[in-house]
Amino acid sequence: MKCLNYSAYFLVLLLLLAGCASPYKDLPAGTVKSITASPVIEQQTVTIPVIEDNRLPESDYLIGPGDVLLINVNGKVELSSPGLVSSSDTVSGSRVDESGAVRLPLVGEVTVAGMNLTQIESRLRQVFSRYLTDPWIVVEIAVYRSHPLYLLGQFRNAGTFYMDRPLTLLNGLAMGGGMLDTANLRSARLVRDGQIVPVDIYQLLREGSLQQNVWLHAEDTIYVPDDKNQNVFVFGGVTKPGPVPMPNGRLSLSQALASAGVEEVRGDTAYVRIIRSISTIRGELLVVDQSSILHGEALPFPLVEGDVVYVPRSKIGNWNRAIQDILPSLQAVSAVLQPFVSIKYLRD
């Protein structure tokens, strides 16, 4: 009787296994099946126009706070710029204070910020004419300090530099003395007034695109990150949203989703959406069928640094709706996103 029970059990098990759907059920053992299909079901390229306001700056240097001026009045020491600016300085002259003024013997405080040298000389002649007959005045710049440029990251000579004339982006990059081997040019960015400027530093340096060679402004920052600690970002229907490290710069979509933990009930892996940064001003929007990869019907999908992966919790009709859902997550990690994503989706 017990033998009959076991026989019935195995018969039912065999029937169940035979009924299971499998993409390989018609293939004899030992058959090698070539998989060539791509899991990408939608792909569109997105570009951002290069900065529009790229007018040639004022050719004459405009004086500002921090600059040191040498002011000669009638060749008389007692009327001209004082001696050393401070006890720690080795340069003589009149420093422009934070209010944009210099202090001179006889006339006191005179506002000079926003003027070029010719305008300052004219202004000082006007002021000194109250006390002197037909004064002659010569003004020179001893130290440039009001137009800083900040070079941060993987420069050989990173630091603060001061512009003494109009400079282009290429001029500014050259001031850093070249890049270290660890420089990640695809993620390099020009930051102005807290916003990333839409220019492609990689295209400028590697492809010679002079369209990217924009004029710099005072207080611009050029930041070149390193190629270490690369990440992708996974959001949506996952249990651990956020950055996922890329060991040795390699990671597949399957590995990223496994690390983030796809929600089995709500995560829709048939329509995984990916925002990819190609450069600061170029990107791609991709829809990938991860379920086809899991079923062995499509090739694994490799991710690249900075990819933003979104697993929808339900079927999303278009990218506009998808971006609305992703936006809060992007804002939470805005400081570490690729420049393209920040410019395209997070600019005020």
- Indicate whether 46 and 92 sit together in one domain: no
- List the domain range (segments joined by +) for residue 79: 68-143
pLDDT given for residue 324 in this prediction: 87
Please say which residue of 143, 166, 193 terminates a domain: 143
- For Cα atoms 264, 268, 272, give the angle at the middle one, nearest 5 degrees: 125
Report the interhelical angle of 319-332 vs 339-346 (nearest 10°): 110
- Indicate whether 303 and 242 sit together in one domain: yes
Please check whether residue 24 lies inside any domain of the structure. Answer: no
Please state which of the ranges 76-85, 95-104, 133-142, 241-250 shows the lowest mean pLDDT: 76-85
Q: What CATH number is attached to the domain comprising 216? A: 3.10.560.10
Range list of β-strands (E), the chain: 40-47, 68-73, 94-95, 101-104, 108-111, 137-143, 148-153, 159-162, 189-192, 195-197, 220-224, 231-236, 242-245, 272-277, 282-288, 308-311
Backbone phi and psi for residue 306, each to the nearest 5 degrees, phi listed first: 85, -5
pLDDT given for residue 21 in this prediction: 45
Q: In sequence order, what DSSP letters do the residues of 157-189 get, joined into one string?
A: T-EEEE-SS--BHHHHHHTTTSB-TTB-GGG-E
pLDDT given for residue 81 in this prediction: 85
- Indicate whether 186 and 259 sit together in one domain: no
- Indicate whether 136 and 152 sit together in one domain: no
- Indicate whether 164 and 218 sit together in one domain: yes
- Indicate whether 100 and 114 sit together in one domain: yes
Q: Quickly count: other Cβ atoms within 10 Å of residue 164's Cβ.
A: 12
pLDDT (tens digit per residue) in 55-80: 778 889 999 999 999 999 999 988 88
Average pLDDT estimate for 192-206: 94
- Indicate whether 83 and 126 sit together in one domain: yes
Please say which residue of 164, 194, 224 terminates a domain: 224
- Indicate whether 198 and 237 sit together in one domain: no
**Kind of pairing between the strands at 148-153 and 220-224:** parallel
- Indicate whether 158 and 139 sit together in one domain: no
pLDDT given for residue 322 in this prediction: 84
Please check whether residue 244 lies inside any domain of the structure. Answer: yes
- Indicate whether 250 and 337 sit together in one domain: yes
- Say if pTM beats, i.e. exceeds, 0.85: no
Please say which residue of 88, 116, 143 terminates a domain: 143
- Give the chain's domain count: 3
With bands split at pLDDT 50, 70 and 90, how would you rate the model's confidence at 19?
very low
- Indicate whether 239 and 254 sit together in one domain: yes
- Indicate whether 233 and 339 sit together in one domain: yes
pLDDT given for residue 16 in this prediction: 41
Please check whether residue 250 lies inside any domain of the structure. Answer: yes
Kindly tell me if the per-residue pLDDT of 258 is higher than 90.
yes
